């Protein structure tokens, strides 16, 4: 079995995955949404302190599995340095204490593998990753062959939902709150401009849209917020489908996946489904509970890394002390 730890942002999570069957034997996550909500976003130092409390508590519940462990996996990057350190330090302690090899897992590969929890992998795959930290399109051929096709030049898709929600006083995380508010709204009332419409560049940008929404919020009454939320969600999604449509002209999709916390967005899922229909492409989605950060996805990557003997030394797992890796 492999014990896997995730602490790259505001979720403390640990999983136990059986190597031979990929079965998820244990998974527990303690989210910090309530604690960060008053600030309208994640406060890194607060997050680190909460990880330091939560992770040892979850680890104590894993003790019955300790004598069956073959490796310890941990999210090593990208993420907030001060929170990554909490998971990495604990992973090192367990690895040294139980004399086990360490596996450092890339968080983005983790999101891709959220599709394969308790399942076999399915490659090649075109992936849209939409989370709080990232917006990117990737061609994934295997565990180690990942080509980035397009990424955001500024804010991410999920982050833009968080910021718009903050403007409307809806707390953190903003994605679910905006989605709920948008349901009763008029998607066409606020005619926000689709970002990067006139450039052929395959890239994303959400800062301009965020500023346009800020102006609309400032000029509007509370009863207009649902129309602003709906129009914002519509254009934020249209930006993704517009760029993907361009990419598909030369690279028609066969198997397409949406992963990351914001892949839970139902409007986005529906629009991507419409976009894929003419190609008869298969759409893969993670289970809703595994869209946002979790340790099950890290454990699933670790199973494949273990089989390839992709271990990491204690020294290699040092986190560089930058605020955002
Ligand atoms: O993957 P994740 O848990 O953390 C990162 O790795 O960043 O993603 C969290 C992000 C937040 O920005 C949150 O607002 C967004 O995912 N999110 C959503 C929805 N649910 C979560 N965004 C839009 N619609 C949703 N339903
Ligand atoms: Zn994530």
pTM of the model: 0.95
Rounded to the nearest angstrom, the distance between the alpha carbon of 192 and the centre of ligand 1 is: 22
**pLDDT tens over the chain, length 325 residues:** 999 999 999 999 999 999 999 999 999 999 998 999 888 889 999 999 999 999 999 999 999 999 999 999 999 999 999 999 999 999 999 999 999 999 999 999 999 999 999 999 999 999 999 999 999 999 999 999 999 999 999 999 999 999 999 999 998 899 999 999 999 999 999 999 999 999 999 999 999 999 999 999 999 999 999 999 999 999 999 999 999 999 999 999 999 999 999 999 999 999 999 999 999 999 999 999 999 999 999 999 999 999 999 999 898 887 754 444 4
Q: Which atom of ligand 1 is nearest to the CA of 291?
A: 1
Q: Is 262 in the pocket of ligand 1 (CB under 6 A)?
A: yes
Q: For residue 121, give both structure tokens.
A: 């992998």
CA dist 112 → 168, 181, 242, 256 (Å): 32, 29, 22, 11
What does the block give as tokens for 317? 């797992």
Ligand nearest to the CA of 105: 2
pLDDT attached to residue 320: 58
CA–centroid distance, 162 to ligand 1, in Å, is: 8
Pairing of strands 255-259, 125-130: parallel
Nearest ligand 1 atom to the CA of 158 is 12
Q: Which residues contact 105 (CB under 8 A, 6 or more apart)?
A: 4, 73, 74, 75, 76, 298, 301, 302, 305
Residue 176: per-residue pLDDT: 97
- Beta-carbon neighbour count of residue 315 at 10 Å? 6
40 CB under 6 A from ligand 1? no
Q: CB of 88 within 8 A of CB of 142?
A: no
Q: Whose CA is nearest to atom 1 of ligand 1?
A: 261
What b/e string do you get for 100-136 counting C-beta neighbours within 10 Å, with b at 16 or more?
bbbbbbbbbbbbbbbbbbeeebeeebbbbbbbbbbbb
Q: Please report the domains of the chain, with CATH numbers, ordered by start residue.
A: 2-116+292-307 (3.30.420.40), 125-285 (3.30.420.40)
Total Cβ atoms within 10 A of residue 51: 30
Strand order in the sheet with 11-17: 24-31, 11-17, 2-6, 71-77, 102-106
Asked whether the CA dihedral 166, 171, 172, 178 is positive or negative, the reply is negative
| Torsion of Cα atoms, 8 then 13 then 17 then 22, to 10° | -70
β 71-77/135-140 pair status: unpaired
């Amino acid at each position: 079995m492999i014990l896997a730890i995730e602490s790259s942002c505001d979720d403390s999570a640990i999983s136990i995955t059986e190597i031979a069957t990929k079965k998820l034997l244990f998974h527990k996550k303690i989210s910090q949404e309530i604690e960060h909500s008053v600030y309208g976003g994640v406060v890194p130092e607060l997050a680190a302190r909460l990880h330091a409390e939560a992770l040892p508590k979850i680890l104590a519940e894993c003790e019955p599995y300790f004598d069956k462990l073959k490796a310890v996996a941990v999210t090593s990057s990208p993420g907030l340095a001060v929170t990554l350190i909490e998971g990495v330090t604990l992973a090192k302690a367990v690895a040294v204490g139980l004399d086990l090899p360490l596996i450092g897992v890339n968080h983005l590969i983790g999101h891709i593998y959220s599709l394969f929890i308790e399942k076999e992998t399915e490659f090649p795959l075109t992936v849209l990753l939409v989370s709080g930290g990232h917006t990117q399109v990737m061609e994934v051929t295997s565990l180690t062959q990942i080509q980035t096709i397009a990424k955001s030049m500024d804010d991410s898709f999920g982050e833009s939902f968080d910021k718009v929600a903050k403007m409307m006083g809806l707390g953190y995380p903003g994605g679910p709150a905006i989605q709920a508010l948008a349901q009763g709204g008029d998607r066409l009332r606020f005619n926000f401009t689709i970002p990067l419409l006139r450039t052929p560049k395959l890239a994303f940008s959400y800062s301009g849209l965020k500023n346009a929404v800020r102006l609309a919020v400032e000029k509007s009454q509370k009863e207009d917020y649902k129309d602003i939320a709906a129009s914002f969600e519509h254009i934020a999604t249209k930006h993704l489908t517009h760029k993907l449509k361009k990419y598909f002209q030369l690279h028609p999709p066969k198997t397409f996946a949406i992963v990351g916390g914001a892949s839970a967005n139902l409007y986005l899922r529906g629009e991507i489904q419409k976009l894929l229909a003419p190609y008869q492409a298969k759409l893969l989605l993670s289970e809703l509970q595994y869209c946002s950060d979790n340790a099950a996805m890290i454990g699933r990557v670790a199973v494949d890394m273990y089989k390839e003997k992709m271990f990491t030394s204690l020294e290699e797992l040092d986190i560089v002390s930058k605020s955002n890796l």
